[in-house]
Amino acid sequence: MDIVYHSAAEKANSPSAAGGGAFTRGMAGMAGAGLITKALGYLRDAMLVAFFGGGALADAYYAAFRLMNVFRRTVGEGALNAVFIPMFEREKAKPEPAARRFFASAWTVIFCLSALAAAAGILFRRELVTLAAWGFRSDPGQLELTALLTAVLMPHLLFVNVSAFFTAALNSARRFFMPALAPAAFSLAVIALLFTFYSGFFSSLDARGKIILLAAVASASGLLQAFALLPFLKKEGYALTFSNPFKDLSAAPALLAAAPAALTLAQDQVSMLINTLFASFLPPGSITAIYNSARLVQFPVSLFAATAAAVSLPELAARSAAGDSEGFRAQLKPALASSWLIMLPAAAGIAVMALPICRALFEHGLFSPEQSRLTAAALFWLALGLPAYGFNKVAASSLYALGRQGEPLAIVTAQLALNAALCLPLMGRLGAGGLMLATSISSWAAAIAFALALRARSGANPLAGTPVFRPALAALAAALAALLVREALAGAGPIAVTAAGVPGAVLVYFIALRLLKVEERAVLTGGRF
């Protein structure tokens, strides 16, 4: 499923490179791998809360994981893609060995910085947890367990950032499938351990000991992810050779100067960290509800919006480097269209089906109906911001491809400040759901700012090339179909309601797109429907 061009000239002259064909195939490969990864992730989370419940113990694990995840997303993953690929594309346009020298330099910088960040996280674990979960100070046992879990999880930061660097290099080579599939190693490792718990192994450990062991296995899974990508990296001709820091660290100034991009593209994780801080003052289970609702919303965001941003980024960066403004706008159009066409119905469908979905996925074992309702309330309010989340992912990557770093940083900083300002008053009215509403409102405000910045810097008007009202009507029809299924099958149980309502709503949506003659649906279907 990978799209591989064997030379720069072949890539430039490819008929599909300038249109949506290459984009659609790249989306299909990356989204297919992402679907497998996400499905395993939901199985992992469902098994975890079924075994440990949705109370204080799970709160400690998810608070520690959220803290590590902020570091991971800030230094690596999608943020590293946006920073590294535009620079790497410019180096690849130069005579050899410029690209390989730059790769070695970047590898040295990423490895060293990640190792230092992981070590700092271990050393200052208690201070970090105190800042991230301030409400835990009233329960010393909860604070100490969260700090211990944070220390155990921190080595994962090094492993996963190395994997993110490998992913960025492979994406630059237009390889998308395997890099998107490799993160499944994390879920598979945790699922395997949870199966041993369910089978009666490690019975000598109490619940606290088991969740510490779970964190250790989760941490080590990042090493498996990195090893899975090594053969593909070597196939592209890149060796893991460290640069001599006294002779050649050419990538260091560029990567460090682009550090704000990492913070910008990790915005969703920072928002959730802010929400976790406020949720630590709420009743037990609130942090788990926030984590699980964010995971559910991340399904369409990661599978489609983040995928659209990742697949389009190498071409956007190449067009920008070549000064091809018209080609840049042409490449941007399918990325924006695909994000809007998926995020809009996802928001409507998730809002309608929030409770059945949460009950079907999580209400097993020790996870109670009350915890399902708490998670569903958080999910409902967070889903309202889905179209904005998707647009912001694509817009931020596009601005970085243009070499613009100031605007995204300013927009995201203002967004995070607005999110924090809204948390306290909305939390007082809606609890954990209010924290998610604060995130949705601030995301829509950021989307408006991103649209203005994108228009000013590239001449692209997001509303001009993207159908707005007809997909909105189709999404409304899909939500109505989901509502009818939910009410008709109310007595059949949440699994039956979800199994019938979600596919039914998707089918109604695509039929409505066809009836309304929304031609941009071809970006998602490849022209087959």
Counting residues of the chain whose pLDDT is more than 70, the rounded percentage is: 81
Give the span between the Cα atoms of 256 and 116, in whole angstroms.
15
Same domain? 443 vs 498: no
Q: Give the Cβ contact number of residue 503 at 10 Å.
A: 11
Q: How many residues can be counted in the chain?
A: 529
Query: What distance in Å separates the CA atoms of residue 431 and residue 154, rounded to the nearest whole number?
Result: 30
Whether 492 and 399 map to the same domain: the answer is: no
Helix (H) or strand (E) holding 445: helix 432-458
Virtual CA dihedral for 388, 46, 273, 282, nearest 10 degrees? 110
Residues 210, 239 share a domain = yes
Q: Are both 378 and 284 inside the same structural domain?
A: yes
Q: Return the SS3 of 8.
A: helix
Q: Looking at residue 19, what is its pLDDT?
A: 45
Residues 348 and 360 reside in one and the same domain: yes
Residue 319 lies in a domain: yes
Looking at the structure, tell me whether residues 425 and 516 fall in a common domain.
Answer: no
Q: How far apart are CA 50 and CA 56, in angstroms?
A: 14
Inter-residue long-range contacts of 477-480, CB under 8 Å, 24+ positions, other chains counted: 477/508, 477/509, 477/512, 478/345, 478/348, 478/349, 478/505, 478/506, 478/508, 478/509, 478/512, 479/345, 479/348, 479/349, 479/351, 479/352, 479/505
Instruction: From 430, 447, 466, give the residue that closes a domain.
Output: 466
Is residue 10 included in any domain, yes or no? no
The per-residue pLDDT for 82 is: 64
Report CA 497 to chain centroid distance, whole Å.
27
Structure confidence by residue, pLDDT tens digits, 384-399: 998 998 888 888 878 8
Of 424, 445, 466, the residue at which a domain comes to its end is 466
Same domain, 440 and 499: no
| Domain annotation covers residue 389 | yes
Return the pLDDT at 421.
Answer: 95
Report the domain count for the chain: 2
For residue 445, count CB atoms less than 10 angstroms from its CB and return exposed for 0-12, middle for 13-18, buried for 19 or more. Answer: middle
In a domain, 187, yes or no: yes
CA distances from 442 to 29, 83, 523 (A): 32, 24, 29
- The percentage of residues in the chain with a pLDDT greater than 90, rounded to a whole number, is 30
Assess if residue 335 is contained within a domain. yes
Q: Render pLDDT for 216-227 as a digit per residue (tens, 0 to 9).
A: 999 999 899 889
Q: Please indicate, yes or no, whether residues 460 and 488 belong to a single structural domain of this protein.
A: no
In whole angstroms, give the CA distance from residue 499 to residue 485: 10
Q: Does residue 165 sit within a domain? A: yes
Q: First vs last Cα of the chain: how many Å apart?
A: 21
Q: Is 415 found in the same domain as 502? A: no
Peptide bond before residue 425 is cis, with ω within 30 degrees of 0: no
- Answer yes or no: do 393 and 475 share one domain: no
- 377 with 513, same domain? no
**CB distance 207 to 60 below 8 Å:** no
**What does the block give as tokens for 519?**
């031609």
Indicate yes or no: pTM above 0.75: no
In a domain, 282, yes or no: yes
HSE toward the beta carbon, residue 257, CA cutoff 13 A? 10
Q: Domain range holding 503?
A: 467-529
Nearest CA to 511 out of 476, 478, 472, 468 is that of: 478
pLDDT of residue 195: 93
Whether residue 13 is predicted with pLDDT greater than 50 in this model: the reply is no
| Sign of the dihedral through C-alpha 119, 124, 130, 136 | positive
* Tokens read off for 30: 């990356």
* The pLDDT value given to residue 246: 54
| Whether 207 contacts 52, CB under 8 Å | yes
- 232 close to 175: Cβ distance less than 8 angstroms: yes
pLDDT for the residue numbered 131: 84
User: Considering 466, 484, 509, which residue would you say is the last residue of a domain?
Assistant: 466
Residue 250 dihedral angles phi and psi, to the nearest 5°: -60, -30
Range of 119-133, 239-253, 322-336 with top mean pLDDT: 119-133
The amino acid sitting at 415 is Q
The 10 Å Cβ neighbour count of residue 237 is: 10
Please indicate, yes or no, if residue 303 is contained in any of the structural domains. yes
Clarify whether residues 321 and 416 are in a common domain: yes
496 pLDDT tier (thresholds 50, 70, 90): very high
pLDDT in tens, 463-490: 766 677 888 899 999 999 999 999 999 8
